[in-house]
Amino acid sequence: MNIKLLLLSTLGIFLISGCGSRRTFLDDFLYLGGSSMTQIDQYFDLDTKQHEQLEQNIDADLDRLRKARFKQIAKTLREIEKSSQKSDNKKVMSAAYADLQKEYLEASTYFKGSTVKLITSLKEPQLKTFKTKAEKEISETKLAPPEVLNEELIGRYKRGLEFWVGDLTTAQQQSIAQFTREHPFPWNEKIKNKEAILNRFMAVHQDPVQLRKFSEDFVSEYPKIRIPTYATAVTAYEKEFQNFLDSFWISLSPEQKNRLQEYLIVRADKLEQLAKRP
């Protein structure tokens, strides 16, 4: 399996839950947070040389990550699997969410190099293209009815959970919808956060030193650069979602739990194999 896909599916899919648009802490993290090369090209209109260089830089960062962290990530997955076998443990999924979030945040720090190289290679027209497209997305989110945004969110939750436990029962799907209705995601705060990050980026894009610092912080310190109102709102939302995960775990059938356990083992095995590779 492609290393990029393995890493993203191992750490990212589980974390689709509780994040509003994509992943909370990777919400505006275009780079590693599940975005394909095609999406990056669409945002910046990269030329052929930039595209090829970006691929090479990402591969180099992934190789460093593979050597340094894949063994530990595999260990975390095995610990989750062991925890899931304890019949009295009712917090398997919320604990897994927290553990994988930590792993993903740590993994993201390995992509400073490729991020800085990409951002500092962009020309002014490409930056304007990015600004225009980002503003368009923000505007579309502002205009979208909350019920539409929530339906998209429910779909992401279902896909993320199905990835790990297989087909969901009607009752489980209804519980996801009920959670989303009773605990609205902080869309307004999210929009303001996107606007603030975009404005900060454009404000420093002509200063190489500040641009490098912003890019590095965006990759390795993203939770800290969010505006306070969004950070507070999304942290509170995540706590509610983790409570939901605990109730969702209780609803799983033996077959669903077995699928989760088997998948964790398969992923851990693969990561360990990759970690041993020269």
pLDDT of residue 69: 92
Q: How far apart are CA 92 and CA 96, in angstroms?
A: 6
* The two three-digit tokens of residue 105, written as one number: 């945040």
Pseudo-torsion of CA 153, 45, 29, 68, nearest 10°? 130
Three-state DSSP class for residue 59: helix
* The two three-digit tokens of residue 153, written as one number: 């969110």
Q: Which DSSP category does 18 fall into?
A: T
For residue 189, which of 234, 129, 136 has the smallest C-alpha distance? 234
pLDDT of residue 115: 85
pLDDT of residue 37: 53
* The two three-digit tokens of residue 110, written as one number: 């390995």
pLDDT of residue 101: 83
Three-state DSSP class for residue 193: helix
Q: How far apart are CA 218 and CA 28, in angstroms?
A: 9
Q: How far apart are CA 177 and CA 168, in angstroms?
A: 13
- Average confidence (pLDDT) per 10 residues, the chain, 278 residues: 46 40 32 46 84 87 90 94 91 90 85 86 90 90 92 88 92 96 93 91 90 86 88 92 94 95 91 90
Which burial class, exposed, middle or buried, applies to 197 when counting CB atoms under 10 A from its CB (0-12, 13-18, 19+)?
A: buried
Using an 8 Å Cβ cutoff, are 142 and 191 in contact?
yes
* The two three-digit tokens of residue 242, written as one number: 């983790």
pLDDT of residue 215: 86
pLDDT of residue 104: 82
Q: What is the CA radius of gyration of the chain?
A: 19
Q: Where are the alpha helices (DSSP H) in 144-253?
A: 146-165, 170-182, 187-204, 208-220, 222-225, 228-251
pLDDT of residue 55: 84
Which burial class, exposed, middle or buried, applies to 246 when counting CB atoms under 10 A from its CB (0-12, 13-18, 19+)?
A: middle
